[in-house]
Copies of this chain bind each other. A is one copy, B any other.
Amino acid sequence: MGKENFVEQIADIDADFPQWYTDVVLKTELVDYGPVKGTMVIRPYGYAVWENIQAELDARFKATGHKNAYFPLLIPMSFFTKEAEHVEGFAPEVAVVTHAGGEELSEPLAIRPTSETIFGSMYSKWLQSYRDLPIMINQWCNVMRWEKTTRPFLRTSEFLWQEGHTAHATEEEALGETMKMLGVYKEFAENVLAIPVICGRKTEKEKFAGAVATFGMEAMMKDGKSLQAGTSHYLGQNFAKSFDIKFLDKDGSQKYAYTSSWGVSTRLIGAIIMAHGDRRGLVLPPKVAPVQAVIIPIAAKKDGVIEKCLEIKAELEKMSIRVEFDDSDASPGWKFNEWEMKGVPLRIEVGPRDIENGKAVIFRRDTCNKEEYSLDGIADTVKGLLDVVQKDMLEAARARRDGRIVYAKDMKGILDGVEGGNFVKAGWCGCRECEDKVKAETAATARVFAEGETAETCAICGKKAEHVIIFARAY
């Protein structure tokens, strides 16, 4: 079986990006469809990516003073009505438990779509004095938002995420926390996922239901569309007032706290796939790849090949490199295809001639280049290459994205820009009508403000521009 045989199983990335995505997530066994419409099973290969994401993020959350906890899945429906914008935003998507233990419940219960309300109700109980502040808690959990159109990782009725919820004595501190966590996300996206992101404030229309301000990070996918990869919300005193989160301040008076919340989800796996994947399948950044290097024997039946492969595997494991040795019966070519499709960053080919020459061939999944390396110190070489791949993937993604950011002066420019698969920067007067008009005519939405940039006129109505905004079609 030749190489092309395998690649043909995946739709052409240039011709049909959505089908390519579906093929890749299913065939690499990242995910499968669950029995209930809109649900997904995250299979071991996909879940291992999530575990790596969790480990990296969790260390960052703890280093910034947060602790993990677990709050209940079920929230009284009445909680949602306490914050007016919040209920409007989430009520239509909620899944509702009406019966339990063989009886009808006296009050229906929502499966959490997000947990501001239940954190709020507990913080109200726990918070007494300014000495108790700040409260900085994160939780890793499942959430549910009933969606009409679903796609694995990108939009499913249930997904996994983390949600941080903090309470502070002052606006300044809460806003500081909001921005700090946005910064943590950005550093993580770039250094761990190798995805460059643009961070900024969201418009009123696009902000979180109940927030004073939402800050998002937007990542460009290979089709030029944007994916919101994480959000950090400054909630002001909105939830504090709805849930009575008050404290006795130093001056002896009762004050409402200021709160924030921030989250990223298994959507990030979709971002990795679409930011880096190519016609052969996945391309995984080393830091989250479940398998960082695969060793493939060439002419495995020849004396000493298996032994040498196992020796190399042991050396790599000693350096904590996640390595697999593929000693299955399949042909080397078949294995090449399989592990390329699965996005393993490095492939080490070891054959009798290589051993004789004291060398091995290493294939880089990101560039698809092969090179020979000495078997002496192979573990150090692999470690070094993984670092190079990690950095190069970020730079390649950044170059791709930067080449697809355009400026528009009018509606035609916006339309042409997004049609061409670009992020489009344009002046905006700030009015909702103009924002809606862009969406209606181009299917693009306002992603984030281009912080610090200015424009003369609104590209939509021609009036004075108040902001520069980034428009893009989005997942």
Contact = CB atoms under 8 A, between A and B. Distances in A.
Interface of A: 32, 34-36, 39-44, 46-48, 50-51, 67-76, 79, 91-102, 108-109, 111, 118, 121-122, 125-126, 137, 141-142, 144, 146-148, 157-158, 160
B141 A72 contact: no
A211 to B, nearest CB: 22
Contacts of A92: 101-102
Contact of A35 (B50, B79, B144): B79
Which of A35, A46, A91, A121 is packed against the most chain B CB atoms within 10 Å? A35
A68 B51 contact: yes
B100 A34 contact: no
22 contacts: A34-B72, A36-B74, A36-B76, A41-B70, A41-B71, A41-B122, A42-B70, A44-B69, A47-B69, A47-B70, A48-B68, A70-B142, A73-B111, A74-B144, A92-B101, A94-B100, A97-B97, A99-B108, A100-B157, A101-B146, A101-B148, A102-B146
A96 B99 contact: yes
B146 A100 contact: yes
A47 B75 CA distance: 20
A95 B93 contact: no
B67 A118 contact: no
Contacts of A158: 72-74
Contacts of A74: 36, 39, 95, 144, 157-158
Nearest to A43: B69
Contacts of A73: 111, 142, 144, 158
A50 B72 CA distance: 15
B109 A100 contact: no
A69 B41 contact: yes
A68 B40 contact: no
A32 B126 CA distance: 10
Nearest to A144: B73
A32 B137 CA distance: 15
A48 B70 contact: no
Contacts of A34: 71-72, 118, 122
Contacts of A75: 35-36
Contact of A72 (B39, B79, B93, B109): B39
Q: List the 5 closest A-B pairs by CB distance, nearest first.
A: A101-B146, A44-B67, A95-B100, A39-B72, A42-B70
A68 B96 contact: no
Nearest to A29: B126
A121 B70 contact: no
A176 to B, nearest CB: 21
Nearest to A156: B72
A295 B72 CA distance: 34
A92 B98 CA distance: 14
Contacts of A147: 101
Contacts of A109: 36, 95
Contacts of A70: 41-42, 47, 50, 142, 160
A42 B140 CA distance: 12
B98 A93 contact: no
Contacts of A36: 72, 74-76, 109
A95 B44 CA distance: 28
A67 B45 CA distance: 9
Contacts of A69: 41-44, 46-47
